[in-house]
Structure 1
Amino acid sequence: MADLFAEEHPPQPPSSPRADAPLADRLRPQSLADIVGQEHLTGPEGAIGRMVAAGRLSSMILWGPPGTGKTSIARLLADAVGMRFAAVSAVFSGVADLKKAFAEAETAGRAGQRTLLFVDEIHRFNRAQQDGFLPFVERGTVTLVGATTENPSFALNAALLSRAQVLILHRLDVHALSCLIERAETLEGPLPLVPQAREALVASADGDGRFLLNQVETLYAAHLDAPLDPASLGSFLQRRVPVYDKDREGHYNLISALHKSLRGSDPQAALYYMSRMLTAGEEPLYVLRRLTRFASEDIGLADPQALTQCLAAKDAYEFLGSPEGELAIVQACIYCATAPKSNATYVAYKAALKSARETGSLMPPANILNAPTKLMKDIGYGENYAYDHDAPDGFSGADYWPEGMVPQSYYRPVPRGFERQVIERMEWWEKKRRERRAKGE
């Protein structure tokens, strides 16, 4: 079942809701079997199903998007294994509330009653507050069930994570959301929607069961005279705003998906993820910065115009503004996705950095150093420098590496795009070097 029943006040164990309660409250699941969309956890082979069957819970972190069942599961777990249920919310609770919860759990423990402590939005507690849970979890004073929409790897202390299982809840799929609508219709009667509008209603929830049931309740409350079609439904209700925090995991997930779609030369997927970011309110200039980075990292000299396209798109966007300027970003995105790919520049830079760190302060050969003073000339700076333009073919073949350092091969172009021509040039230069070394020049 979706996380349909989170309220501003700490949740309470299952009980019969009032007749005038919100629809989501009246449809609150009464057992773990009523949960939809999370069978991989609550089913007989799931982690939660196995713990309940054994009659003993371990501490856990429920991680998933809003409206997917975290609060509902936590409410039902305690009842399923006969534990005392207590709850705090990191949004509304402080140190005093935690101390009180732990003290009550210790008192209940002395009476033989185990306590399940549910902590909603646990990621909102700071590191010190999270550390405060550790001794009570270790002693078994409480079994901790935390709920978070943020990636626990980033949001929670490593020490706390080591003492709890991380269970991942999925966004509700079409089947799970349709099941919620069917339950609502069993209680309230058929929804005033044509079949296509019903599908549009499910899609508008974006995997959030709580949001869906709130929309359903709005439709019932309107007492409509005739069923709505998709267009009328769109005017009557609002779509759920996509989950996207610019400094959180959703941001990094989408930029990763965009980058890898570009690298995989899939312009259609790249456009989709870029549009997801812009629709969610991402700064267009941030997207352009990522495209520009991609042009150097994953295209490089396979198509030198990719970098030019991205910088031109930046100028066009700054000149035109929104919404006209976004088209230049789209052009840059498509160009990068369809350009030949090479990370040879990126790999060469990494390898050169490694050599630079390892070789320290090796001096370049004296013959390629400038000699602006008499002393520098006297000690050999610039002596016997081979001026390439004086060579018949414009190439001297001189050795430019520090004495004692073996010449390295950092940049290795690939046989794609413009780098095919670069390979031909480099091979020609290397042939000339070998010839001149053979002649002793």
Structure 2
Amino acid sequence: MTAADIAPRPFDEAPPADRKPGARAWIVTGLLVVFMMVNFADKSVLGLAADEIRADMGLSATDFGLASSAFFLLFSVAAVGVGMLSDRVRPKWLLLIMAVLWSVAQAPAALGGGLAVLIGSRILLGAAEGPAFPVAQQAALSWFPNHRRNLPGALVTLGVTLGVITAAPGLTWVIQHHGWRAALWVVAGVGVVWAVLWALLGADGPYRSDAAETGSDAADARSVIAVAKPSYRRIFGTRTWIGTTAAYFTSYWCVALMVVWLPSYLHNGLGHSSAASGTLVALPWAFGAVVLLGQAGVTGWLMRRGVSSRWARGRVGGSLLLLGAAACLALPLVDGTGAKTALLVIGFGLGGSFATVAAVTVAELAPPARRGGALGTMNAAVTTAGLIAPAVVGHLVDSRGTTGYESAVLLSGALLLVGGLAAFTFIDPARDAPRLHA
């Protein structure tokens, strides 16, 4: 790493704001999509192998929930620290280090050991994966001006969905035929391959500096920089940052439950076979992918026609959360495995689709010199849902049996309702961003 890698060059000539992204921008975005696919394949192994791990180690549902929650112990801390570091160190190198650490973290549990080794490896993996989403979004969005960010932001988020859709059937087969530890070796190997490709092809984009962001020329860049560094405290105090973070927290709650407990609910709560559960678990992610791309298309179309981001991002995103809440809260009102499965797919698919809205909203709110920290801290606050949700559901299942799963879905619906209202009420980056420079 050279001195040039430590900080962006704020005084370089800015690219025109209306310049269309070139092939390199889409190559980097594609690699970041795969990065997020690997990220969520790593996360999903424990959920897919929940019954096998519990039987192998003699764990109760509460024990397994706590082991899953351990993943998030350092997740949030790392997201804050590395997010702020990404305002000074080029994201290319941070992403490469993260990918290597993911593969290293899989090795202890893959080699053997009991619950303590599993927990320790998950803590290390969580620390390495905590900053992944905000830094990946920062890296991708640095290739695009604000009005063109919805699609690349959605594609990077879509990597999460694709990771589960592609990983779930394959990893389920590996788990059933070769054991859950073999599945850890598979995801570790994929991580190494991605790291090699990123080292060769990865790069940071031209919109990473404040001058580029505003379209200023080099002569004006210093005056732009002088006013483009509000304190993080001021950013975190805006209604937009607070509302976005609150809404995203409720969305991530659903994501955490899909990763950790949805396979068990489908099998033990709704009676699907293990093989069917391994396939059905991909449905809410697939539905969410359609919703995600639709949201990106609608939001981009509205913004290109001059609609404010309060409506194009906050209220479109908030509507998705409210619809997801309605589906989750309707679960006790229907009978039959098929109807309940359909509501799960709709509720969690809609509920888990807020990540892109959150990322591009905060990217619009925060100037480039503070963007990494603003995204990372939001992600840290949001992903505490991943620390809390698996343990809460584990306790509900132990105390209520299979009805505990349904209680967890109702709780998710109530949270999504709160999140949707927060998005509607607070998000307005066009209002709050100018106040940061006042």
Quickly name the TM-score band, shorter chain normalised: under 0.3
Of Structure 1 and Structure 2, the greater strand share is in 1
Of Structure 1 and Structure 2, the greater helix share is in 2
Q: Which one has more relative contact order, counting CA pairs under 8 Å at least 6 apart?
A: 2
Kindly name which structure, 1 or 2, has the bigger radius of gyration based on alpha carbons: 1
TM-score, with structure 1 as normaliser? 0.19
TM-score, with structure 2 as normaliser? 0.19
